[in-house]
Amino acid sequence: MGDDIGRELEVEVGKIAHGGISVARHEGRVIFVNDAIPGERVVARVSDDRKKRFWRADTVRVIEASEHRREHVWGAASVDRDPAERAGGAEFGHIELAHQRELKAQVLMEALDRTGGIDADTLADALGADRLTIEGLPGEPDGTGWRTRVRLNVDEQGRLGPYAARSHRVIPVNDLPLATPEVQAAAPLGERFAGEPHVDVLAPSVGSARLIIGKQARSTITERVGEREFALADSGFWQVHRHAASTLTAAVQQAVDPAQFDPASANLDLYGGVGLLAAALGDRFGTGLRITSVESDAIATDYAAENLAEWVGARAVTSRVEAFLRQLAAGSAPERARLESATVVLDPPRAGAGLDVVDALASLRPAQLVYVACDPVAFARDAGALRERGYRLASLRSFDLFPNTHHVEAVASLVRE
């Protein structure tokens, strides 16, 4: 293999696939094409031919453009550049924003069907509609100006920039259009940082923008969601879109069925971070809430304990979720019984919760689950596994937390039947 690397093919672009790539065919072989839009005819340059069944390729010229194609919002990522010199992180920036959301909806619905085995009637009931709509957040009409956190990598000359797509090649840039104005102003794009691995630029909602250079000592920042403030490490995880935390707070609150909710039960917030979603339940259901936030990062757990201190029944535990659930499963009958009336919120990483966690949750039989998902295929896999174990998809909403990228967020409720 390797003889076809660099070969240019003229192809008709078919449907969108998971990962922001489009599917084409050439002489019977599947070609996964970057920077194209379904319905286009493009010239694509082969970048990976190691697999017999499919190749990967990058669009280098558009012959017949989609009506939804626009000038890329970030010149550094444009198809006008050689693929090796294109900045990563804005792979949908050449597509009109409304059509981006249509493509994301297609990917999520197909995943739920093919991977999750969730039939059209069930999905329609959960959506309250025949089709999924990706909900936009407040912001610029072209999907720019939303990132409150940006990591800039450092090349051998000390220059800053994002990696090229699917690469560790640093692309020096002179602008960051997806970032908020505060991050753009603070980013030291023209400076040199030789010897450092990266520079993080962040603009919390409270206080001024700041840089984290390499592995410098962490400090505490404050993020505000509505009237509530959350303390966290400046190097810790927080939702990237400036409106994401408030959007997910409201969506999780709405996803919980109050008829199935028992504030005195052994409610759980899994992959809880610094307590954002546990606090969302607390703000909806009051000071009598009993909830345990579980997070593997000890630093985040310490902040969660502080952020949830006003709820006497709240606690924060440092543990891997799988280990924590196994411990619950080994508990006494009365302890397990308290879980059967519980609500569980889970916000796993991109890989999803996985079969071990799904099995453990199903064995504990909580009344309802609220699943916050950032990967459609991983979510569909877990939703399908929960369906097989007696949980019905009761509601589903999806949000465009990452405009001009292929990423999409979903918030689903699943109830025990």
In a domain, 251, yes or no: yes
Catalytic residue among 160, 314, 374, 408: 374
In a domain, 92, yes or no: no
The pLDDT tens digits of the residues spanning 35-77 come to: 999 999 999 999 998 887 899 999 999 999 999 999 999 999 9
Backbone phi, then psi, for 323, in 5-degree steps? -65, -40
Tell whether 55 and 164 lie within a shared domain. no
pTM of the model: 0.96
Tell me if residue 374 is catalytic.
Answer: yes
Tell whether 254 and 376 lie within a shared domain. yes
**Would you place residue 1 in the very low, low, confident or very high pLDDT band (cuts 50, 70, 90)?**
low
Question: Residues annotated in the binding site, as ranges?
Answer: 239, 271, 295, 347
CATH number at residue 19: 2.40.50.140
Q: What is the pLDDT of residue 331?
A: 84
Tell whether 158 and 134 lie within a shared domain. no
Tell whether 340 and 214 lie within a shared domain. no
- Domain closes at, from 25, 48, 69: 69
The pLDDT tens digits of the residues spanning 105-153 come to: 999 999 999 999 999 899 999 999 989 999 999 999 999 999 999 999 9
d(CA 398, CA 384): 17
The pLDDT tens digits of the residues spanning 202-237 come to: 999 999 999 999 888 889 999 999 999 999 999 999
Q: Residue 381's domain spans which residues?
A: 100-139+241-416
**Looking at 148-306, which runs of residues are DSSP E strands?**
149-154, 160-161, 198-202, 210-213, 220-225, 228-233, 267-270, 290-295
Tell whether 135 and 165 lie within a shared domain. no
Tell whether 260 and 197 lie within a shared domain. no
Tell whether 319 and 410 lie within a shared domain. yes
Average pLDDT of 78-98? 97
- Domain closes at, from 69, 91, 115: 69
In a domain, 119, yes or no: yes
**Would you place residue 2 in the very low, low, confident or very high pLDDT band (cuts 50, 70, 90)?**
low
The pLDDT tens digits of the residues spanning 353-394 come to: 999 999 999 999 999 999 999 999 999 999 999 999 999 999
Tell whether 196 and 158 lie within a shared domain. yes
Tell whether 157 and 278 lie within a shared domain. no
In a domain, 84, yes or no: no
In a domain, 108, yes or no: yes
Tell whether 124 and 172 lie within a shared domain. no
Average pLDDT of 342-359? 97
Work out the number of other CB atoms within 10 angstroms of the CB of residue 355.
11
Which residues are paired to 198 by β-bridges? 153
Tell whether 202 and 125 lie within a shared domain. no
In a domain, 81, yes or no: no
Reply yes or no on whether the pLDDT at 407 is more than 90.
yes
In a domain, 76, yes or no: no
Tell whether 305 and 405 lie within a shared domain. yes
In a domain, 225, yes or no: no
Q: Which long-range contacts (CB under 8 A, 24 or more apart) does 235-239 make?
A: 235/200, 236/273, 236/274, 236/297, 236/299, 236/300, 236/303, 237/273, 237/274, 237/297, 237/300, 238/148, 238/149, 238/204, 238/273, 238/274, 239/276, 239/401
**Would you place residue 332 in the very low, low, confident or very high pLDDT band (cuts 50, 70, 90)?**
confident
Q: Which long-range contacts (CB under 8 A, 24 or more apart) does 20-23 make?
A: 20/91, 20/92, 20/405, 20/406, 21/56
The pLDDT tens digits of the residues spanning 268-303 come to: 999 999 999 999 999 999 999 999 999 999 999 999
- Mean pLDDT, the chain, rounded, equals 96
Structural domains of the chain, count: 3
